[in-house]
Structure 1
Amino acid sequence: MLRHQALALITRSVNPFVYENTHFLPGISGVMTFHYRSDVMKKLLPPVLFLIFVVLMAVLCWQQESPHAVPDGYSLLAVPFIAGGLALAFSGSWLFKKKRTNIMTFGQPDLLVTEGVFKWSRNPMYLGFVIALLAFAVLLGGAYSSFALALLFVVVTDRWYIAFEEKVMRDKFGTAYEAYCQKVRRWI
């Protein structure tokens, strides 16, 4: 029992979420629900996480000598996609600044932005980061480890940042946000 409590304490101190099993049917468990822990999440903003993943991709690619799937010379075709992904991310940021609404991930939203790039994606900034990360994976030669990191970024972003932001948006904007969710997908 003591060992289980110590493991739970360590897991909660490292992990930004507190997990609990939810029972939908008597005797059947295993569905995870996430409860947000803001103290841990506030330390790692999405652009910082993006840069960490780019550096990790480069380090893993060169230090571990990961096998590459993209032939030499073709990797430069990724540069326009890096630029396009970053342009998409910055266009969402620019629109928030133009509307004078809060852009900080963990701040309270002032306004529900549904125009511009937000007509096609509820999360164009994260989508732009993912496009850029996939393009960086190609630029680095298409190492499998780079693509795995890009996939991990998607999972972390979707389950960590977006889950938090959507809860805050639902609480703040209610049915207006629900209607927006019905019209516009989370990613694309």
Structure 2
Amino acid sequence: MVRVLLILAAVNAALSIPMAMLVKRDFLKRGRVSIPLAVWTGAAMHGNALLLLAIAWFDRGSLGAPGILTSAAGGFLAIAGAALIYLGRNAYADFSRVYGLKEDELIDRGVYRWSRNPQYVGYALFLGGVSLAALSVWASVLTLSFALFIHCYIVSVEEPHLRAAFGKAYESYLRRTARYFRSPSGRRNDVNEKL
């Protein structure tokens, strides 16, 4: 079963690369994405999460026997991640903005005051929490792969689009808000930080 789920995850990941290229094309040509592409991005994100949940379940214990500590820590991370996803979507105040269908304002309110990408941070925390709770090798590998893909997507697709769409307002937002989150010391990601 794990092998079948891994194949599905690989197909989902492979389809996400041309999806990201099409999103970039739509942003450059239209300033927003088309409805079919928005559906594709939503299906890819949620499909990835569902596949990872299934893989974590069927591969649980491959890093060792899950215990109370790993289950509690993983559960906490997953709940914190889900909360960040919710808060990020709530700050948009319009579901059509979530998938890039509507690009009419720079969102810098709510949780976006502290992170430029709280939903992606939320997904990474959620998936990482599930991986930790299950102590699954494959779920952990997929979580790290997802985080790397999202970072590359943000740097090569979303940030250039937002610079073009919102100009100086976005540059100001970059200077005052971390890409992902602030460290406990108050340091944040450098604006020009690359992979």
Q: Name the counterpart of 1:83.
A: 79
Task: Quote the residue 1:146 is aligned against.
Answer: 139
Cα distance in structure 1, aligned partners of 2:56 and 2:129? 14
Of 160, 164, 168, 1:171 maps to: 164
| TM-score calculated relative to the size of structure 1 | 0.68
CA shift for structure 1 position 36: 3.0
The residue type paired with residue 18 of structure 2 is: N
Aligned residue type for 2:49: V
Q: Does residue 89 of structure 2 align to residue 68 of structure 1?
A: no
What is the alpha-carbon distance in structure 2 between the residues aligned to residue 138 and residue 109 of structure 1? 36
Q: CA deviation at 1:130?
A: 0.8
* More off after superposition, 176-185 vs 156-165: 156-165
Could you tell me the percent identity over the aligned residues?
Answer: 21
Q: Which residue of 2 aligns with 1:57?
A: 52
CA distance in 1, matches of 2:111, 2:78: 17
| Aligned residue among 164, 173, 180 for 1:187 | 180
For structure 1, the residue ranges without an aligned partner over 5 or more in a row are: 1-10, 19-33
Superposition RMSD in Å: 3.2
Are the aligned partners of 1:70 and 1:138 in contact in 2 as well (CA < 8 Å)? no
Aligned to 2:18: 15
How many residue pairs are counted as aligned between the two chains?
158
Residue pair 1:101, 1:109 contacting (<8 A) in 2 also: no
The structural deviation recorded for 1:94 is 0.8
What residue in structure 1 maps to residue 7 of structure 2? none
Is the 8 Å Cα contact of residues 116 and 178 (structure 2) preserved in structure 1? yes
Q: Deviations over 1:114-133 (max 9, x none)?
A: 22211211011111111111
- For residues 102-113 of structure 1, what are the structure 2 equivalents within 5 Å? 102-113=96-107
Shift of 1:135: 0.4
SS at match of 1:15: helix
Offset at 1:65?
A: 6.9
Amino acid at match of 1:91: L
Residues 162 and 93 of structure 1, relative CA distance in 2, 3 Å threshold: farther
Deviation at 1:184, TM superposition (A): 1.2
Distance 1:184 1:71 in 2: 37
